[in-house]
Chains A and B, each alone.
Chain A
Amino acid sequence: MAENIDLKVIEKNILKSAHQHGFFDMFIGFVVTGMAFGPFFRESLPSPHKYFLWPLILVIIADLLLFIIIKYVIQPRTGIAKPGPSLKSMRKKLFIVTFIQFVIHLTFVILLVIGIGRGIHVEGMMFILMIGLFFIPIFAIIAYLMKYPRLYFIGMLIWLAIFINELLYDPIDYRIRWLLSYGIIGGIIFFIGLVIFIKFLKKYPLKKEEVS
């Protein structure tokens, strides 16, 4: 038990406890790895939006898994707490950041679907730089708000996957390229999450007498 009582530290501990289980890392790793298999599966998906259907399917599967694991595996071990006013205000900020990210993504998707911007070709290092400028700050803001330092690292890894993908653009077949970039990086993120998740399960065994 800590000897010093600091409400800010307590809030930080509560925030940290929300992602200490490592399953969020597994969630992100699953989606990134799944992206690597896109070139193998998306051809069998209905056109014209097959490029967007595959990530959508992945996110839906990952969300369902996340919901089930949190409700039946994680919460009985960690317990449940309803946030107080300052934690609620942090959640609001987090919601605003993720909402802005969602709106930017959606705008890109709509522009691509209706054909605007197809004439613009941003390739090579400029593309990597643009993606980096978009991804890394978003991950960094969420990591800061959630007191989730691993997310800085995950943001960098995802950017690295995009970099490798772009670097191997010409030399090899596109399916192998996706496996080497998103497959390996996604696998690393998933593995890190899995190790943390196993440690979490060992640290917090389920006690039968009391549930959350």
Chain B
Amino acid sequence: MAKKKAESDDIIQPLSDIDKIIHEPARLMIMSYLYVVESADFVFLRNQTGLTDGNLSSHLSKLETAGYVEVEKKFKGKKPQTILKLSKQGRESFEVYRKKMERMLSGLSEK
């Protein structure tokens, strides 16, 4: 019984190390899109993720505060344009997150 619990703890333990900023579904979606592109603007991300303007802004603020996303605001003519890209730290954190999740999920599927 104790051995089984220890095994289960080995699998579940990495959950506590998971980056909770990235782990939230909407932010994970944003990070994934920004991971496969070099940069994208706000409109592109909104269309691809299906998030509302307010929701996307709020998640982007959290990612920016965590240092994962770089936000550049500029004007195109008279209209504002927001360009977003993953920072070096954001890219590395996303890779670490992916590896941890892969390891944890593959461990669960074997049991």
Contact = CB atoms under 8 A, between A and B. Distances in A.
Given A204-B47, A210-B82, A80 B40 contact: yes
A65 interface: no
B39 interface: yes
A125 to B, nearest CB: 46
B58 interface: no
Contact of A14 (B25, B29, B36, B46): B36
A79 B47 CA distance: 8
A177 interface: no
A83 B42 CA distance: 15
How big is chain A's contact interface, by range? 20 to 34
Interface stretch (B6-14, B48-56, B63-71): B48-56
Interface string B68-108: 00000000110111100000000000000000000000000
Contacts, number: 89
Interface in A88-110: none
A77 B46 CA distance: 10
Interface string B14-50: 0000000000011011001101111111111111111
B109 to A, nearest CB: 15
Contacts of A46: none
A148 to B, nearest CB: 17
A139 to B, nearest CB: 26
Among B28, B33, B45, the most chain A Cβ lie within 10 Å of the Cβ of B33
Max chain B C-beta neighbours (<10 A), residue from A10, A13, A76, A204: A10
A210 B28 CA distance: 23
A84 B38 CA distance: 5
Contacts of B29: 1-2, 5
A11 interface: yes
B37 A84 contact: yes
Nearest to A206: B43
A87 interface: yes
Contact of A212 (B33, B35, B81): B81
Given A1-B26, A1-B49, A80-B41, A11 B36 contact: yes
Contacts of A11: 36
B28 A211 contact: no
A90 to B, nearest CB: 11
Interface string A1-33: 111010100110110010000000000000000
> A-B pairs with the 10 shortest C-beta distances?
A79-B44, A79-B43, A81-B40, A82-B38, A211-B79, A81-B37, A212-B43, A1-B50, A81-B44, A82-B39
Interface of B: 25-26, 28-29, 32-33, 35-51, 53, 76-77, 79-82
7 contacts: A5-B28, A78-B44, A79-B46, A79-B47, A83-B37, A84-B38, A208-B79
